[in-house]
Amino acid sequence: MKMTTSILPLFFLVAAPAVASVIVASPSNNQTVNGSISYSATSTTNTCARGVASMGVYIDNKLQYTASGAVLNTILPVASGTHSTVVEEWDYCGGATYVSMQITSTAQSGVHIISPAVNGVVSTPASFSATATSSCSKGVASMGVYANNKLVYVANGGVLNAQVSLAAGPQQTVVQEWDKCGGSTYVAVPLVVQSTGTLLQNLQKSQKWNSWGQGPPDYGDCSPSPCNGFQFSHTANIASPSLSGSSTEFSLGGPNGTSPWGDVLFSLPVLGQYSSQNLPDTGHTLLPTLHNFTYDTDFFVSNVSITQVLEFDINMYMNGVGMIWGTQCNNLGGKEWDIWDNENAKWVSTGVGCSLINNGWNHVTVQVQRTADNSLLYQSITLNGQTAVLDKTYPPFRVPASWWGVTVNYQMDGNAKETPNVTYLDNFSLRYW
């Protein structure tokens, strides 16, 4: 997928610090923890015009975690005892600044729940965060989450961070660890799940989808089909294949394979300008209140071998700020999920695999967030029941002040021969709050 929106620098009118700095919200110096350390920090610099490149955590002089950009949030397990820890930032000019802290851990064997609270009230997807320690000398092999006696998530090692979709109402969940010696411990976490936000359903059925072809070399938008040497279309109310009885067919193809690498962007405005859901937000009172979005859809892949890339995006434009949460399954380019770096206008591999079901239905859920400073937080991607917690943050970009709205996108990228390809969407929803 090639993003074609003009990228302009974004500036905030704030008092600039005199030098680079690292601000650690947690942990505090000389804090005592139980088996894990929760790190939350931000950094700034005015000594490098290009800004902060990344942040990292050292424990006992070993680099344990890194995050792109100027925001860091993670949980790391530690053994019993006192540890020297450092949170450091590195800028794009080669500079670095750090803060050091002493932390004491009183780790005991078992599962240590950080969130959610036992008997707590949560929204869905619920955020599960936990660590585990074991008396087994080989350590913890994996951790998992059960919901109503069904295993719904598994992570390797002794740290678990997961976004788990749960039905509304009382739910019986369990967080369990398995060690490398054959032992296991668990903690029951009963919850009450409340419905959160507003749900827009069956978006695939809307008659207000827009479509543009994007072809090499500049990948500028063109419409209507055919253009750029290839053709594209979408057709609603398809009975088969369908899960609900009314899917939408999306197609892309070129004549005799003569226009390789062509893409088609299908876009639906849902909030603000041109809203397909009768939510124009003309008073500009809705969008500023929104911080969380969940993109959820079933999608049918007719032929995995010719499906180059499938893309699932949420776009938000407000007060001159552009935010594109772009996620794509780079199927023929490594079978990995990529996410979109707005500031540098490029795709970044997450290292998370995306294995698609051929000639069958797949299900994807993308959870993202707009932070307080309009940064884009990629929280998680769930494909066919497997959740990957990303926890990646990128800055936004500048757009014309007149742009106001939220859109959802679905994109198909053609392969080297622009082989005609057909996919389907069904049960497509967007939840926002």
Residue 412's CATH number? 2.60.120.260
Residues 31 and 98 in one domain: yes
Q: Model's pTM, two decimal places? A: 0.62
Pair 189, 212 in one domain: no
Q: Are 82 and 151 in the same domain?
A: no
Overall average pLDDT of the 112-130 stretch:
82
How many other C-beta atoms lie within 10 A of the C-beta of residue 197? 15
Task: Give the tens place of pLDDT for each residue, 392-431.
Answer: 999 999 999 999 999 999 999 999 999 999 999 999 999 9
Assigned domain for 257 exists: yes
> For residue 176, how far is the Cα from the chain centroid?
25
Domain containing residue 159: CATH number: 2.60.40.10
Range of the domain at 83: 21-105
- pLDDT-derived band at 18, boundaries 50, 70, 90: very low
269 shares a domain with 247: yes
Note whether residue 2 is domain-resident: no
Q: What is the CA radius of gyration of the chain?
A: 23
Does residue 5 lie within any of the structural domains?
no
* Domain-ending residue, one of 160, 193, 226: 193
pLDDT value of position 255:
67
Question: Among 59, 89, 105, where does a domain finish?
Answer: 105
Pairing of strands 120-122, 184-193: parallel
The answer on 203 and 59 residing in a single domain is: no
Average pLDDT over residues 223-231: 90
SS3 305: helix
On average, the pLDDT of the chain sits at 88
In 180-238 the beta strands, taken as DSSP E runs, fall at: 184-193, 198-200, 210-214, 221-222, 231-238
User: What's the pLDDT score for residue 69?
Assistant: 84
pLDDT at position 108 is 66
Does 328 share its domain with 233?
yes
Which of 56, 72, 105 marks a domain boundary?
105
Q: How many domains does the chain have?
A: 3
Closest by alpha carbon to 306, among 332, 271, 343? 332
In a domain, 8, yes or no: no
146 and 37 within one domain:
no
Binned at pLDDT 50, 70 and 90, residue 308 comes out as very high
Q: Is the pLDDT of residue 14 over 60?
A: no
User: Do 183 and 213 have their domain in common?
Assistant: no
Q: Residue 37: inside a domain, yes or no?
A: yes
235 within domain boundaries = yes
Quick one: 118 and 263 in the same domain?
Answer: no
Residues 57 and 160 in one domain: no
- Diameter of the chain measured on Cα atoms: 68
Residues 207 and 308 in one domain: yes
- Residue 127 has what DSSP assignment? E
Which pLDDT tens digit goes with each residue over 237-257? 999 999 999 999 999 987 655
- Is residue 89 pLDDT above 90, yes or no? yes
Query: Sorting pLDDT into bands at 50, 70 and 90, what band is 10?
Result: very low
Query: Which token pair is 162?
Result: 């997961």
Residue 16 pLDDT: 35
Q: Domain check: are 290 and 341 in the same one?
A: yes
